Amino acid sequence: MENNIYKFFILLFSVLYVTATTAQRSINSQRPNIIVIMTDDLGYADVGFNGSKDIPTPNIDRIAQQGVVFTNGYTSYSVCSPSRAGFITGRYQQRFGYERNVQHRPNDPNMGLPQDEKTLAEVLKKVGYSTGIIGKWHLGNHISKHPLNRGFDYFYGHLGGGHMYFPELLTIKDSRTASELETYRTWILENHTPVKTTKYLTDEFSEKAVSFIEEQKSNPFFLFVSYNAPHTPLQASEKYLERFTQIKDEKRKTYAAMVSAVDDGVGEILNKLKILGLEENTLVYFLSDNGGPEHRNASDNGPLRAGKSSIYEGGNRVPFAFRWPQKIPQMVYRYPVSALDIFSTVAAVAEIPIEYHKPLDGKNLIPFLTGVYKSRPHQTLFIRKFDDDLFSVIHGDYKLITKKSNKIKELYDLNNDLSEQNNIAKEHPEIVAKLDSLRINWNNELIDPVFLGLIHTEMWKNRKKKTLESNNQRSK
Ligand code: CA
């Protein structure tokens, strides 16, 4: 008798287990894959879908042609590290004091992404996704900040903000012993292990991204392809340089070649999805982490004013495209959207429960793109630059900029003055007052920066001093 009851329960548990795992498998097989391709310091006008004439990007353009071009796509900051902190948490990074480019401080557990913020990789991993990051991290060097400790199963890249591209220049094996300046020369890490690379770095990253897709083709996966190109140093291999013999300016030529290498990589990633039959049910995002620093890397932000690190449009309005053939038709979408929306959109499509005590600042864009919602996804978008004492508030078509503790106010009508040339603050005091009150309310939700940044290092101060000296020299 006892034996029969025992057998019955064994059978019952087996049936339940098989049913549960089959159900999980079927949920997983429907869950879309997620790929975010983020470039570094790419100019707004340097992709075909935003009108580039001298740098063809046929592969990046495939994402746009088969999906959505966001003409007004913003990141949440205008330099690398805070922008990435915003993207990966889906929250304004000023809420948790992340307002500076991190320093290389492998022994400092407070330098980088706070442990009580959740990354997109962490929440996706929890619901069964395989998670990988290829390329630049830039969210802290302490072991607790390492991608493998922040939700990723696989990492192939560098922890710092930029990197040399040729293998023979990567001469420092152990990144923990490197100085701030030397971090660009360290070996690439595969998970925790330094490895010697053999190829031009962009090619190396593209190849690893394709391998990751091949290896994870049977699971739902999240792949963050975080190219450090076309961030300085300007270095390109002959294969790409020879495509741009018509560009006479050497800097622009090298930059173009670097962008072209990224475009080839994007092509390989998209081809792999197609071959594996994953094209239809994979969300692919393409964007830059901030605007182009036009003078430094010869990028081009087109009609936008200024560039990287600025509070003007060139600082954080970026090339931004999205493709999900199974659900989203081809379109040009003109309402402002944010890189913060990636987290919210992915959370919705992957059915991830959200912690409401830490609100996301992004929106799930799917109902906006399918036409269920006709309104703007964001009534208002904000930036605060603590160290520069700057704010921007985009509300409707208007943008308010405040400087010097709110003593200087500029108001632009972005719909009619994309290049922010006509300050209309004096003509519209009521609009200024309204946007300013939104700014004050938002600022009350933020905290001061919780760590010092790159600008506080000796390396940065020396660089600034040198630039000033050379400017003085020139003006004499
Ligand atoms: Ca950047």
Looking at residue 243, which CATH number applies to its domain?
3.40.720.10
Model confidence at 437: pLDDT above 50: yes
Model confidence at 323: pLDDT above 60: yes
Q: Is the dihedral of CA 60, 66, 67, 69 positive or negative?
A: positive
Measured CA to CA, the distance from residue 239 to residue 224 in angstroms comes to 26
| Dist. CA 228 → ligand 1 center (Å) | 8
Q: Which of 338, 369, 400 is at the close of a domain?
A: 369
Q: Residues 40, 227: contact at Cβ < 8 Å?
A: yes
Average the pLDDT over 260-275 and give the result. 98
Residue type, 216: Q
Does a structural domain hold residue 225?
Answer: yes
% of residues, the chain, pLDDT over 70: 93
Q: Has 104 been annotated as catalytic?
A: no
| SS3 (DSSP) at 437 | helix
| Dist. CA 370 → ligand 1 center (Å) | 31
Q: Which residues are near ligand 1, the ion (C-beta closer than 5 Å)?
A: 40-41, 80, 289-290
Domain match, 136 and 200 both: yes
| Dist. CA 300 → ligand 1 center (Å) | 14
Q: Which residue has the higher pLDDT, 359 or 37?
A: 37
Model confidence at 379: pLDDT above 70: yes
| Dist. CA 351 → ligand 1 center (Å) | 30
What residue numbers bound the domain in which 441 lies?
380-475
Model confidence at 432: pLDDT above 50: yes
| Dist. CA 313 → ligand 1 center (Å) | 15
Measured CA to CA, the distance from residue 464 to residue 457 in angstroms comes to 11
| Residue 457 CB neighbour total at 10 angstroms | 18
Q: Which of 369, 402, 420 is at the close of a domain?
A: 369
Domain match, 270 and 396 both: no
Average the pLDDT over 305-317 and give the result. 98
Average the pLDDT over 194-212 and give the result. 98
Measured CA to CA, the distance from residue 425 to residue 362 in angstroms comes to 28
| Dist. CA 291 → ligand 1 center (Å) | 7
| Dist. CA 86 → ligand 1 center (Å) | 13
| H-run or E-run covering 346 | helix 341-349
- By the 10 Å C-beta count (0-12 exposed, 13-18 middle, 19+ buried), 331 is classed as middle
Looking at residue 384, its pLDDT comes to 98
Domain match, 50 and 103 both: yes
Does a structural domain hold residue 3?
Answer: no
| H-run or E-run covering 64 | helix 58-65
Catalytic residue among 104, 138, 163, 231: 138
The shares of helix, strand and coil residues in the chain, as percent rounded to the nearest 5, are 40, 15, 45
Domain match, 361 and 384 both: no
| Dist. CA 327 → ligand 1 center (Å) | 30
Q: Which of 369, 388, 412 is at the close of a domain?
A: 369
Say how many domains are in the chain: 2
Does a structural domain hold residue 22?
Answer: no
Looking at residue 357, its pLDDT comes to 75
Q: What is the pLDDT of residues 269-298, one digit of tens each?
A: 999 999 999 999 999 999 999 999 999 999
Average the pLDDT over 257-265 and give the result. 99
Residue type, 458: E
Q: Residues 329, 65: contact at Cβ < 8 Å?
A: no
Average the pLDDT over 174-188 and give the result. 93
| Dist. CA 331 → ligand 1 center (Å) | 27
| Dist. CA 138 → ligand 1 center (Å) | 10
CATH label of the domain that carries residue 413: 3.30.1120.10
Residues whose CB is less than 8 angstroms from the CB of residue 395 and which lie 6 or more positions away in sequence, other chains included: 379, 380, 434, 435, 438
pLDDT band at residue 18 using 50, 70 and 90 as cut-offs: very low
Average the pLDDT over 4-26 and give the result. 54
| Dist. CA 53 → ligand 1 center (Å) | 23
Q: What are φ and ψ of residue 34, in 5° steps? A: -125, 125
Q: Is the dihedral of CA 446, 451, 453, 458 positive or negative?
A: positive
Model confidence at 452: pLDDT above 70: yes
Model confidence at 2: pLDDT above 60: no
Domain match, 193 and 334 both: yes
Does a structural domain hold residue 337?
Answer: yes
| SS3 (DSSP) at 464 | helix
Q: Which residue has the higher pLDDT, 357 or 326?
A: 326
Model confidence at 235: pLDDT above 70: yes
Looking at residue 25, its pLDDT comes to 43
Q: Give me the chain's average pLDDT, please.
A: 94
Domain match, 306 and 229 both: yes
Domain match, 364 and 433 both: no
Q: Has 80 been annotated as catalytic?
A: yes
Domain match, 46 and 92 both: yes
Does a structural domain hold residue 416?
Answer: yes
| Dist. CA 80 → ligand 1 center (Å) | 4
Among residues 298, 291, 333, 296, the alpha carbon closest in space to that of 312 is found at 291
Per the document, the length of the chain is: 476
Q: What is the pLDDT of residues 324-345, one digit of tens each?
A: 999 999 999 999 999 999 999 9
Catalytic residue among 80, 142, 231, 395: 80
Does a structural domain hold residue 1?
Answer: no
% of residues, the chain, pLDDT over 90: 87
Looking at residue 30, its pLDDT comes to 82
Which residue(s) pair with 172 in the sheet?
A: 186
User: Lowest-pLDDT range, 139-148, 354-363, 409-418, 467-476?
Assistant: 467-476
Measured CA to CA, the distance from residue 176 to residue 2 in angstroms comes to 62
Cis previous bond, 233, omega within 30 = yes
Q: Residues 343, 87: contact at Cβ < 8 Å?
A: yes
Among residues 237, 240, 151, 160, the alpha carbon closest in space to that of 198 is found at 237
Measured CA to CA, the distance from residue 376 to residue 379 in angstroms comes to 6
Does a structural domain hold residue 15?
Answer: no
| Dist. CA 454 → ligand 1 center (Å) | 14
3-state secondary structure 371-403: CCCCCCCCCEEEEEEHHHCEEEEEECCEEEEEE
Residue type, 181: L
Domain match, 334 and 450 both: no
| Dist. CA 77 → ligand 1 center (Å) | 10
Measured CA to CA, the distance from residue 232 to residue 248 in angstroms comes to 19
Measured CA to CA, the distance from residue 152 to residue 142 in angstroms comes to 15
pLDDT band at residue 474 using 50, 70 and 90 as cut-offs: low
Domain match, 341 and 394 both: no
Looking at residue 465, its pLDDT comes to 83
Domain match, 323 and 440 both: no
Looking at residue 355, its pLDDT comes to 75
| Residue 206 CB neighbour total at 10 angstroms | 25
Domain match, 327 and 393 both: no
Outline where 118-216 has alpha helix (H): 120-126, 201-215
Crossing angle for the helix pair 250-275 and 58-65, to the nearest 10 degrees: 50
Does a structural domain hold residue 14?
Answer: no
